[in-house]
Amino acid sequence: MAEIIDFRVTLPGREWAEVPADGEASRDRDYMSNYNRIYTRERGGGRDAADLVAAFQEAGIDRAVLQAEWAAGDYRAMNDAVHRIVGEYSDVLTGYVTVNPDAGDDMAAVVEHEVRERGAKGVNLQPFSYRLMANDKRFYPLYAKCQELGVPVTIHSSINFSNDRSIAYGRPIVLDEIACDFPDLTLVANHGGWPWVNELVAVAWKHANVYIEIGAVAPKYIGTPGTGWETLLHYGNTSLLSGRVLFATDNMIPFQRAVSELQELPLKDHAMEGWLGANAARLLAQVADRLNAL
């Protein structure tokens, strides 16, 4: 059986934030309140890293990329948690770190330290969290550093459900400008680009270094006509893009449900193998080779 890789799982709050008396990890709850309204059913993962790893392995997922995501929280604490947890589960987890452009730090220097000194293999950005577009020039030194190091940048490229900021921050079209300016930088568009799926497919068609990740999307909707996913299902089932679609859950969809629903999509054998894990395995191996050569 082909290896299954979840390209985006996120930190359980208890692993990086102070836990107050009410038992919830401290964070800006208003920021996530509408997410909690929309994703009301059971999610993937658990209260801590041990639960998370056990849950995805129980679902038949062999490996995962653990991504720090700045969400009105302490990005340094999140990066510390990723470093610690990946050290504990290095056989199944790969770590991606994050930054905060409002913290006053040199983001490129942060990334270089995390990659060279602590073994991070990529960077995750959520531009809508910062109320910035991904092509904001404040990120350009970071992109240059990631291109130099050979590590990918994953970027939220889809709707956001935070009621206090525009969904326009997630427009995938801005990835085209970044890919033009950094032709050797690997970009991973998180969440598949919906409702701008056609736009993201066009960007990935143009740039061979752009990958499409489908985290936080129930795969059954990708195969349901009228949902807006038709272009990805079509081109992701051909040689054009079948090698650059990455399965992920983002902990928002129960792991077993996500795997089962993806396996039911009308994909050719080579595309199914690629989506489930072969594409991710190849990308992770390429990054490892680049870093070993530094």
What Å distances lie between residue 43 and 78, 105, 191, 259, 271, CA to CA?
20, 34, 16, 13, 26
- Please tell me the predicted confidence (pLDDT) of residue 23: 47
Q: Would the pLDDT of 42 be above 90?
A: no
Domains of the chain, by residue range, sit at 5-292
With respect to CATH, is domain 5-292 assigned 3.40.50.10540?
Answer: no
Q: Would the pLDDT of 39 be above 60?
A: no
- 193, 167 contact by CB (below 8 A): no
> How far apart, in whole angstroms, are the C-alpha atoms of residue 146 and residue 140?
10
Read off the tokens for 132. Answer: 């910035």
| pLDDT 10s digits, 14-36 | 787 654 444 444 444 455 555 55
- Please tell me the predicted confidence (pLDDT) of residue 29: 47
Q: At what angle do helices 49-58 and 255-263 cross, to 10 degrees?
A: 30
Half-sphere exposure in the Cβ direction for 98 (13 Å, CA): 29
